[in-house]
Structure 1
Amino acid sequence: MEIERTTFGTITIDGKTYEHDVIIRLSGEIAKRKKKLSKKYYGTSHVLSKDEAKFVYEDGCEQLILGSGQMGNVHLSPEAETYFAKKGCTVLLQPTPKAIHTFNNSHAKKIGLFHITC
């Protein structure tokens, strides 16, 4: 699997372009991000809630690569940070253009969550 590129509002993975935030599971399955899990607490999808962290995490995940948007506006809530730490999952938070490079080059058991706007 290769993330080929991102532009404001899109991400292209293995030749398919998505126009919504995506999660790449340990299996390689691509799913739509469930922003409402964070929006209900913070009124925005720019803060990742503990509920969304629970949805994103899978047993065996060593690394979450979080593409924080084209300009890096997404961040973890303190509760989400604690949740991932307790699971032993390292979180790499980077602007999406950099995060796709990190994802493509990481050999860890990883999940990718990519915010494609702001």
Structure 2
Amino acid sequence: MTDTWQTITRLAIRLENHSTLPREQRILLQLLKIQEEAGEVAEAVIGAMGQNPRKGHSHTWEDVEAEVCDVIVTGMVALIRMNPDAAAVFARHMERIAGRDLGENAERPAG
């Protein structure tokens, strides 16, 4: 299986090579892309639940999963465009989350 961060790096390089905008604008637009993708998640959920009267059941829960994956990938691309050491930044952040939410003081299931 391809290393995820290698794929993310390749995607980021492709986007960097495509744009002629200044770096700050490229990053800003990439960050806005996360919101665009999150909107697609919302659209897919509404479609999966059949809550748009014009469209009915226009999406499946598999569509929702795919859209959530797009949000994750877009966020990872944004992070690596901001910081080339994104994998380490993300790993440190995950360690903080695990310590905070899964550590000794985290809530334990009743049982």
Which one has the bigger helix percentage? 2
Task: Tell me if both proteins adopt one fold, taking TM over 0.5 as the criterion.
Answer: no
TM-score range, shorter chain: under 0.3
TM-score (norm 1): 0.25
TM-score (norm 2): 0.26
